[in-house]
Amino acid sequence: MTLTDSGSGLVTSRKNLQRLLALVQDYQVAEVVVTFSNRLTRFGLSYLRALFSGYGVTLTVLHPDEEKTPEQELTEDLLAILASFAARLSGLRARTQQALLACAKQVLAEQEA
Which domain does 58 fall in, by range?
Answer: 1-65
Q: What percent of the chain has pLDDT over 70?
A: 92
Say if pTM beats, i.e. exceeds, 0.85: no
Q: How far apart are CA 3 and CA 19, in angstroms?
A: 8
Q: How far apart are CA 88 and CA 86, in angstroms?
A: 5
> What is the domain count for the chain?
2
Query: Does residue 68 register a pLDDT over 80?
Result: no
Residues 35 and 90 in one domain: no
Query: Does residue 8 register a pLDDT over 70?
Result: no
Q: What is the CATH number of the domain that holds 52?
A: 3.40.50.1390
Q: Crossing angle of helices 15-25/45-54, nearest 10°?
A: 30
